[in-house]
């Protein structure tokens, strides 16, 4: 499944709902579905707030389901990029100077998914790949 959304706050809920609805084909538990929704929400919020600075831009989402009951969610933007991915993934790190952001987006994604990889280039954008194996 592929979709492209404009990076505005109203679309965060849409992305979460569509990814969860697509994942429902694997008959996940309620907890697994909640984990997926939370991770997607954090990833989309990062695109809106950090990649595009609230100015809008496109967010590209690809969701792939596998026969072994696993799911892969790729979320990509063409925003500002991340200069130091390892630093950005540390709990409580944020580039938000207003103090409204907790710096827990990546740690939350890591908690709810089995794997998270982040690739980014300054001025080019960022790609997240999240994976989760659902229970039998």
- Concerning whether 101 is annotated as a catalytic residue, the answer is yes
Yes or no: say if 116 and 129 are a contact pair by the CB < 8 Å rule.
yes
- Concerning whether 58 is annotated as a catalytic residue, the answer is no
Q: Which residues of 63-80 are buried (b: 16+ CB within 10 A; e: fewer)?
A: beeeeeeebebbbbbbbb
Find the catalytic residue in 69, 101, 119, 131.
101
Yes or no: say if 105 and 42 are a contact pair by the CB < 8 Å rule.
yes
Find the catalytic residue in 16, 32, 42, 76.
42
- Concerning whether 69 is annotated as a catalytic residue, the answer is no
Yes or no: say if 88 and 128 are a contact pair by the CB < 8 Å rule.
no
Q: How far is CA 46 from CA 80, 88, 95, 131, in A?
A: 11, 11, 11, 18
- CB count within 10 Å of CB 130 equals 25
Which helix H or strand E contains 68, and what residues bound it? none
Find the catalytic residue in 11, 16, 46, 76.
46
Catalytic annotation, residues: 42, 46, 101
């Amino acid at each position: 499944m592929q979709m492209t959304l404009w990076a505005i706050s109203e679309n965060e809920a849409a992305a979460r709902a569509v990814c969860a609805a697509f994942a429902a084909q694997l008959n996940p538990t309620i907890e697994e579905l909640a984990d997926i929704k939370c991770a997607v929400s954090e990833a989309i919020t990062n695109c809106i707030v950090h990649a595009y600075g609230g100015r809008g831009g496109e967010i590209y989402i690809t969701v792939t389901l596998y026969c072994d009951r696993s799911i892969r969610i790729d979320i990509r933007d063409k925003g500002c990029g991340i200069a130091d991915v390892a630093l950005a993934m540390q709990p409580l790190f944020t580039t938000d100077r207003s103090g409204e952001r907790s710096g827990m987006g990546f740690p939350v994604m890591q908690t709810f998914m089995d794997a998270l990889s982040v690739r980014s280039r300054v001025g080019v954008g960022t790609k997240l790949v999240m994976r989760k194996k659902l229970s039998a």
